[in-house]
Amino acid sequence: MATSQPRNKRYGLASGLALALWLVAAAPATAQVVYKCKAANGVTSYQETPCKRGELIKRIVPDPPPKVVPKPAKEPTAASADSPSPAPTNPPPPPSRSAAPRPTVAYRCTRYDGSRYYSASLNPKRHNVPLYALDQPPPLPPGGTLSPEARVWVEDECEEVPNSEACAHYREQLAFVNAQIRRGAGDANKLERERKRLSAIRGSRCPN
């Protein structure tokens, strides 16, 4: 008749196996190793601490937890792709620049031949002309003489006048050029350049 294991040895094996299964099942992601030990009296046990020397039967290492694969980002659906994007915000308008103040004075200049023009600054022009073109030849140095073919430098004479006088002159000249253009008289290209020049001067120096 075969003898059975001691009751405490059978109990230790069964309870130890249940403990090992419970430790493996309840192990967290970083669970410790479970050691299967067999004591000197023949009792097998499962424990979380290492066995005594010579009692180790097996080291039970739990399986690592399954890796969590991140879900791919959802691609925009056709409805969201077709939806209109928010309208861009219009930048604020640039600060308005105040118009330059209109001049209050002008300069009326007379050439050597008696013709006149107006200028925004006092900057008389100089001309190199033959002596016979002058009504009044310049004074000569003592004992000096000039031949009729001699040329001399003369400077325009300028004086300050109200700006309204210069604007009236520009309006008259512009009206004359426009009339010439309508009649088709003279050089059309030259008249158009003069019209643009007078229009620019009047726009910058005269009130509307």
Per domain, the residue ranges of the chain are 7-60, 105-137+148-205
pLDDT above 70 coverage of the chain, percent: 66
- Encode pLDDT of 156-195 as tens digits: 999 999 999 999 999 999 999 999 999 988 888 999 999 9
- Tens of pLDDT along 50-96? 888 888 777 777 766 677 777 776 665 555 555 666 666 777 777 66
- Quote the pLDDT of residue 53: 83
CA distances from 148 to 111, 137, 138, 139, 156 (A): 21, 10, 13, 14, 22
Among 15-19, 145-149, 174-178, name the one with the lowest average pLDDT. 15-19
Phi, psi dihedrals of residue 193, rounded to the nearest 5°: -65, -40
pTM of the model: 0.44
Q: Under a CB-based contact definition with an 8 Å cutoff, are residues 43 and 51 in contact?
A: no
